[in-house]
A and B are shown apart, each in its own frame.
Chain A
Amino acid sequence: MVSPLYIIAVALVAAFLLGLLKEERRGLAYSVTLVTLALMSWISANWLWLFISTDAVPVEIYTAGTAPPFAINLRMGLVEAALTLLINLTGLISGLAMKDSLLRQGRRAMAVWLVAVMALSGIVLTRDMFNMFVFFELAVIATAGLVLISEHIRNDGLTLAAGFKYMITSQFISTFLLIGIIFAYHATGTLNIDGMANTSLVLLNGGSIAFFLMFIAIIAELKPFPANGWALDIYESADPAFSALFSAATGAAALYAADKLLLIGGAEWLPIATGIGIVTFVAANLLALPQTHDRRLLGYSSIAQTGLILVVLGQRDILGEHTLFIAGGLLLSHAVAKAGLFWLSGLVAGRELNAWAALRSHPLLVFAFVTFICMLTGLPPFPGFYAKWELIHLLAGEGRIALLGLILFSALIEAGYLFRWFGYVMKRESPAEPVDTAPHKTAAVLVAVIAAWGLSFLWGELAGALFGRGNILLALPLLFALSFLLLDPLPAWLKNTLAIAGMVAWFYLTYTEYDPLRMIFAAIFLIGGALTLLASYHAHGKRIGFYPSAMLMYAGLAMLIRATSTFDFFVAWELLTVGSYFLILRGKHSEPHALSYILFSLGGAFMILAGFALAAQGAPHFSLASLQELAQPLAPWVFLLLAIGFMTKTAAIGLHIWLPGAHAEAETDVSPMVSGILLKAGLYGLIMLLLTMGRQNFYGVDLVNAMLWIGAITALIGNLLAIFQEDAKRLLAYSSIGQMGYAMFGLALMNHLGWLMALMFVINHYVYKSMLFLAVGGVAKRTGTREMYRMGGLITLMPLSFIATLIGIIAVSGVPPLSGFGGRWIFYNAILTSEARLPMIILFLAGPIAFLYLFRLIYTIFLGQLKDEFRRVKEAPFWIILPQMIYVAILLVVAVVPGLVLRHVDAYLDQFFPNGGLSWDGMIITSDFGYWNPIAIMIIVGVIFMTLFSWLLFVNRRAQKVKQFNIVFSAERPFRPETTHFAWNFFAPYRKALGFLTLPLVTLFWSTMTDFLHTAGDLTRRFYTGNGQTYAYHLLGFVIIVYLFGMGIQP
């Protein structure tokens, strides 16, 4: 093994040699620099490999040949190896990305660069307090030097000012650190960190103040809120490649330094670290919200992430042996993603967030961006996800709920601005300046991407080793979905075929595992999904990005039904959320809606995470089935959290505002996926929840009863809002909200028939909503509008779409003889056995309201007056029609023989609700109250209908076919189709009567919430005046506050 000392030595020697080189030999100097950095990285990598592959113990390097306290010692262990590798590699790649500017600045800059990287490695390696001080000062000087040297590149003085502010701050810091060190030394007689720790510095006389000074100095280097104005200015003004180093490497080094100090400080100082960390995490994320400058935003995000990791370090008392896994996961996620983003920002010309839209023309870079933000947000399969899962679980296990809540809240804000940014990238107008695609810069980004996925795999394996979890990245559905990333250059039809084949094959492979309940969902998710995908054949070209997103969602769904442990469930949940988010974002005007979707979904997901964590009580492995063993007082809380989480997906009232926009703005074939299929995931969650936990009493409120009310109100408001929509897809979207309300109501009835009804709704809603969305989507595709009043009279031009819509609305409305009636029949039977009678009244009102929007849908689109510009419209594309016709067939079959599916579910439900099932006697279905014979109904209605129809045909055999303006119009003639088609504001009288129920109170609530957060962020950031002296005051104020808190908790 090469001694780690060489990391430092090599850098120093090279820096020295660079000074000897001639100024003109810049190419050579640059090569020397890179080689040196590569060598340093290689040494670290070597060590890292040693520690990973063998159980080697950390190595102590005594510089002067003697042990401490008489000489400085370095230590090389697993963490040190990983961190120095991170630092050196970041240095190397940043050096690569900075090629142009380094070459222009010459050897001095390169030497300083080497020193900076070396100093950071030194901070990590050293075990000597004073040595650490020296390395810190070196880092400061090197940083300031780099800023100074690079100043002439931008030549606007901003960088200089930022550097000077940094110097001011570091003067204060170094003063504190030195005094702290000397007193600590005085107290313990050693400068060695372990020595200080062993002698319990803080217990000695004056030791605690000495420790405090050292501690606060190191913490200040972590740029805690509010003493961090200087750092933001550096992030904003410096070269992005340097910022990458500053964020990833400096941050890592400083965190490790803090970690070392906490070793000295002991348990008393952990809460302080936690406090500083969480305040920083929350505040920095809040402050990042109103940012429009990309690098400053990244700066805030860096600070926030550092804060989070500090929290983890501060919680080491409960995290114990897992601290490393968690902090490492978070740190590496942060470092890789942030470095990648900073490098990426070097490619983008503009500094506004909108300017990143330029990335859009480069799918690879978009992928990189996605990777980074998902990694930062802690989505699976990235390391941050594992880390967050464990962190939240351990916190919940110890009952540190407030901290848990703050972390999740702040993470949600972070996801908010990151995904908003991604929305800008995908949807905003592309700026004029193209992306700089210099190979060395792009390569840096790609290395980060590879590192991201590599780390994901690694953390998956680690999680496997530590907690016995499966590696997410090895899950077959996910792999299948990810493989579409590689297949993306293929034409769309080929990918579509592969996707369909994959889904059907997966169903074939797994169908034996499902009980009838899961079978329904599996069939909808997989076979239904494949059916919906048929519509995607209509798309031409490559459809870059569609298949990875869609398959990611389906992978999540496929994994969801097979999940038995909370971990697997949650992973699947996150995957399907992210996949569907990308799918929704593909719509033309979907940017704000996709954002609100992902925010509500992630908020819901965090609720679920918190619920699972609470339930697990620290147990590493918790199966879904064990939920039923939970007892008071925990169980209601878990139930509440999980239920709210699932209800965000089913868009229960209050949490529904994301749905209409998201579903309406999605592409033609995406709407049925997200509506017909994705919504069922939420129902599946609720079913799991109710199956395992049953009724819960929360301070006297029966939570299932509350769900009953929520379901009923959701059904009413969803339906009511649907009738006032002018946009056909929005109408369907609101209708979905209402239908989900019904299903939720059924589940909450908690009896046999209620569940059967809910499942019937699950099936029916999938079929008819997919069908209607496709039909409407096909029409919208042909007419170029979704506003119904602009359509009209399309029945003769699009007869198949009309038939699908007709069958669809009959089914939705529950009119016999189609399948919707079965649902209603079961519903009536179900409520007869229920005790809760009042919510049903609301549901009774909601029922007929459905007629209103359904009639509006079919009338304003297909009937009435055909408009000029649509006279030559063609029927929707074949591939959009085909699945609709299949759905029509399914509906008819289900209408005649509902027993095909329901019988099995009915029988299966017997084990949960033994009473009140249906009896299937031949063709007659009998409940405790009534009976129903679908075939007879179908035949009777059919016979009557055909008889009358033939009679009318006979009588009217010579009827003259007339055209659209041949109507009696009070003896006038129609003026134009537009003024003759009654369609806009269709239910105006209804609005007069009940319009007050549709006031957008919920939207108002949520927008007030977000406005509040934004305003809070915007006001708080005024506090960073830009004056270096003010920042110094902030620092001193911070020190004093922490001192007061810190000393306050001293024994």
Chain B
Amino acid sequence: MKEELLKRVVKGPDGVEFEVEPLRDYYCEAPPAVHPPVYAKIVEDLFNWARSQSIWILGFGTGCGAIEMRPLMTPRFDAYRYGIQWRPTPRQANLLVISGYLSVKTLKRAIRAYEQMQNPKYVVGLGSCTINGGMYWDSYNTIKRLDDYLPVDLYITGCMPRPEALLAGFEDLKKLIRAGKAEGANQYAENFDWYKTNQKRVIHDWDMPDYNW
């Protein structure tokens, strides 16, 4: 545990000492909730259609895939015309693209970023590294199955997949969303303990709250 997260005794301005427990006092402790579709089907269909046509990707690059994402913004591929754009903050993004291998250290950040996104949210794994470790299958520091840790909606294979493959993948994701099958966020909430166990098994210094709201 990092020092700044340990319990500490502080002295208030009135001279009274009290204890501050950062993990409890500074972070929300509630576990994620399942948010099932609640509206009438036609409304939900509309929403799902809108979600599929407005995919906001969190600009978070891991591994070499981050390089493959960039051409999507260029005139040649122009992903914007498919309603895809990049957002700089997880709060506003729907799609977390894990663009390559995840070291344990990066996994920690990826989990945090994922948890801070709002339901519904999607995860796409990019390249073989996210599927089975790829060329890092024997690395001491790289996870091999992304779906053990995050609810992956879609994998795009390749080492690395080309931007065209990405676009194709996103089109498939859209279909999933429209079909109402992309419920990763709820899946994560339902199997929260399982995911957490997996995560904690590889992240040895778990110095964050269980759920990063």
Contacts and interface: CB of A to CB of B under 8 A. Distances in A.
B170 to A, nearest CB: 22
A972 B13 contact: no
B189 interface: no
B212 A868 contact: no
B119 to A, nearest CB: 10
Interface in A960-977: 960-966, 968, 971-977
A971 B109 contact: yes
B74 to A, nearest CB: 25
Interface in A776-815: 782-785
Given A868-B20, A973-B208, A973-B212, A963 B12 contact: no
A209 B146 CA distance: 116
A966 B213 contact: yes
A867 to B, nearest CB: 9
Contacts of A836: none
Interface string A933-975: 0000000000000000000000000001111111010011111
A474 to B, nearest CB: 47
A871 B30 contact: no
B25 interface: yes
A873 B10 contact: no
Interface in B143-169: none
Given A971-B109, A971-B110, A973-B208, A784 B13 contact: yes
A168 B80 CA distance: 104
A963 B26 contact: yes
Interface string B30-41: 100100000000
Given A870-B13, A871-B18, A971-B110, A965 B27 contact: yes
Interface in A49-106: none
B65 interface: no
Contacts of A966: 27-28, 116, 212-213
**What bracket does the count of chain A residues touching chain B fall in?**
20 to 34
A837 interface: no
B91 interface: yes
B28 A972 contact: no
Where chain A touches its partner, the secondary structure class is loop
B116 A968 contact: yes
Contact of B10 (A869, A960, A965): A869
A872 interface: yes
B4 A975 contact: yes
Contacts of A783: 13
Nearest to A871: B20
A974 B18 CA distance: 22
B12 A870 contact: yes
Contacts of B10: 868-869, 871
Contacts of A972: 109, 112
Nearest to B116: A968
Contact of B13 (A782, A962, A974): A782
Given A869-B12, A971-B113, A976 B28 contact: no
Contacts of B208: 973
Contacts of A873: 12-13
A968 B13 contact: no
Interface in B60-97: 60, 89-91
Given A869-B12, A871-B20, A873-B12, A964 B26 contact: yes
Interface string B1-19: 0001000101111101010
Contact of B25 (A785, A870, A963): A963
A974 B16 CA distance: 26
Contacts of A962: 27-28, 213
Q: Which of B8, B26, B60 has the most chain A CB atoms inside 10 A of its CB?
A: B26
A359 B143 CA distance: 76
B13 A869 contact: yes
A945 to B, nearest CB: 24
B10 to A, nearest CB: 4
A974 B2 CA distance: 12
A975 B3 CA distance: 10
Contacts of A871: 10, 12, 18, 20, 25
A868 B28 contact: no
A967 to B, nearest CB: 8
Nearest to B20: A868
Interface of A: 782-785, 868-873, 960-966, 968, 971-977
Q: Which 4 A-B pairs have the closest CB atoms?
A: A784-B13, A971-B109, A965-B26, A962-B28
Given A968-B90, A968-B91, A971-B113, A963 B28 contact: yes
B211 to A, nearest CB: 9
B12 A960 contact: no
Contacts of B20: 868, 871
Contact of A971 (B25, B112, B213): B112
Contacts of A975: 4
A977 B10 CA distance: 13
Contacts of B13: 782-785, 869-870, 873
B89 A960 contact: no
B2 to A, nearest CB: 9
18 contacts: A782-B13, A784-B14, A868-B8, A868-B10, A868-B20, A871-B12, A871-B18, A873-B13, A960-B28, A961-B28, A962-B28, A962-B213, A963-B27, A965-B22, A966-B213, A968-B116, A971-B113, A977-B26
Contacts of A784: 13-14
B89 A968 contact: yes
A864 to B, nearest CB: 13
B8 A960 contact: no
Contacts of B116: 966, 968
Interface string B197-213: 00000000000100011
Contacts of A964: 26
B53 to A, nearest CB: 20
A872 B18 contact: yes
A783 B14 CA distance: 8
Nearest to A874: B14
Contacts of A869: 10-13
Contacts of A961: 28
A280 to B, nearest CB: 54
Nearest to B18: A872
Given A871-B10, A872-B12, A968-B116, 16 more contacts: A783-B13, A868-B20, A869-B12, A869-B13, A873-B13, A960-B28, A960-B33, A961-B28, A966-B28, A968-B113, A971-B60, A971-B110, A972-B109, A973-B208, A975-B4, A977-B26
A315 to B, nearest CB: 59
Contacts of B14: 784
A668 to B, nearest CB: 14
Q: Which of B10, B13, B30, B212 has the most chain A CB atoms inside 10 A of its CB?
A: B13
Nearest to B89: A968
B38 to A, nearest CB: 10
Contacts of B112: 971-973
Contacts of B11: 869
B4 to A, nearest CB: 5
Contacts of B89: 968
Contacts of B8: 868
Nearest to B15: A784
A784 B13 CA distance: 6
Contacts of B27: 962-963, 965-966
B87 to A, nearest CB: 11
Contacts of B16: 872
Contacts of B33: 960
Nearest to A785: B13
A963 B10 CA distance: 19
Contacts of A977: 26
Contacts of A785: 13
A977 B8 CA distance: 14
A499 B13 CA distance: 32
B113 to A, nearest CB: 5
Nearest to B33: A960
Given A782-B13, A868-B8, A960 B60 contact: no
Contacts of A868: 8, 10, 20
